[in-house]
Structure 1
């Protein structure tokens, strides 16, 4: 049940606004090195920050399923390079000349999603280098999260023209 003020009730009656779909969005924090120095300390502080944001209620009723909050970092090049080499037996381009992303997909539509991603990449003049299946640990999932656990894949891609990388960030946003 959603409790509304008189004004909110009036707005809801005369618009497409659905108050029952409203969600609070509080709690954003940043832990950075303004000099761009990568340290384990930054990750530890970011984790502490996440732990201290538990008051947001960012968990399901089982208290073990989270809201997806996490930490954004630069690409851990050595880790990715080693993993892609091991699984796909290929070498990634030099750091800064490739991008990577984590995709959360539905198992039933994985093939269609992979094909659509490839089509979009080609349209943006980006070459898909690899699709990696990631190791996961289901033992930490809550009951609610387990019901909707997605298929998780990591995609790495690069520009077709590595000699002119000025346009690279635009392609990866595409």
Structure 2
């Protein structure tokens, strides 16, 4: 566009995924709170309304806390079995009570259709004082349906059945024109909280490893003071070449024959940290930025899974400019 008001190069994929994990594999509250801290550090990626409190959406995905929900199932008068508790995070119409009841009935009908046993519904606590006026005006009622598998499916079969169940619920809700209805998650393993709010500041905690996986290029001195030396990120180039967000474009402009991706320890610079792993990707004659970047992302995912897995099993250390896997 004339005047440089728009350049197709500004079009990018989603920012990435922030992953916080405990190397001992034990679920605990600190990991969730560190996930919220990571979310807070990418607040600038979302839009903010003029009221300064309404956002275009933020959320977090966590493991279903089985002990927590077993306690709540007990409060409903049921005795939970050893089977994992499945949880559906449901947005319902808040002011149309007839539509709200119709939505609950629809959800329960499909859950029973798939052979599940329903324990009951739970209303998670909410604090509406932290959201903006526009979010308040349009917010749904939020409820969680708790249930278990009644026919002994394997974890893979169970998640597949839950996915199909969710899709049937969504289709029937559209057909019934139920307003403000949405299924955030329906799973025995994952639970999603989200809304039109901003990520709030939380206290710093002590995770073993923070994996940023392609976003948060600049994390700030406060973050590094708390988590420096155990935060890693990826870069779509073979560091130290082509730092910044345009690694694939720069590789093509310089005419290199081989590029790739890098996993590094985050420091105060831009893609300047100690290198932990790299994977190469050849540059083809007919590559453009999009095709090259797609192949780099494939290599990056494999490198990230393999290397973080080794770090979790074997540990890692930094000696000068060398990153050494295996403690």
- Select 2:91's aligned residue among 101, 104, 111: 104
SS of alignment partner, residue 63 of structure 2: coil
- Select 2:46's aligned residue among 57, 62, 67: 57
What is the alpha-carbon distance in structure 2 between the residues aligned to residue 47 and residue 104 of structure 1? 21
| 1:76 to 1:61, Cα distance in 2 relative to 1, 3 A | same
Root mean square deviation of aligned Cα: 2.7
What is the alpha-carbon distance in structure 2 between the residues aligned to residue 34 and residue 172 of structure 1? 29
Greater percentage in strand = 2
Q: Would the aligned equivalents of 1:102 and 1:153 in 2 still touch at CA under 8 Å?
A: yes
Structure 1 partner of 2:109 = 119
Structure 2 partner of 1:72 = 61
What is the alpha-carbon distance in structure 1 between the residues aligned to residue 29 and residue 111 of structure 2? 33
Q: Would the aligned equivalents of 2:66 and 2:85 in 1 still touch at CA under 8 Å?
A: no
Shift of 1:66: 3.0
Give the length in aligned residue pairs: 153
TM-score w.r.t. length of structure 1: 0.73
What is the alpha-carbon distance in structure 2 between the residues aligned to residue 135 and residue 89 of structure 1? 20
Residue ranges of structure 2 left out of the alignment (5+ in a row)? 165-327
Q: Would the aligned equivalents of 2:69 and 2:85 in 1 still touch at CA under 8 Å?
A: no
| 1:56 to 1:125, Cα distance in 2 relative to 1, 3 A | same
What is the alpha-carbon distance in structure 2 between the residues aligned to residue 91 and residue 59 of structure 1? 45
Greater percentage in helix = 1
Q: How does 1:2-151 map to 2 (within 5 A)?
A: 25-33=14-22, 36-86=25-75, 88-94=76-82, 96-107=83-94, 108=96, 109-151=99-141
Is 2:155 aligned against 1:168? Answer: no
More displaced 10-residue stretch of structure 1: 37-46 or 71-80: 37-46
SS of alignment partner, residue 101 of structure 1: strand
Residue ranges of structure 1 left out of the alignment (5+ in a row)? 8-23
TM-score w.r.t. length of structure 2: 0.42
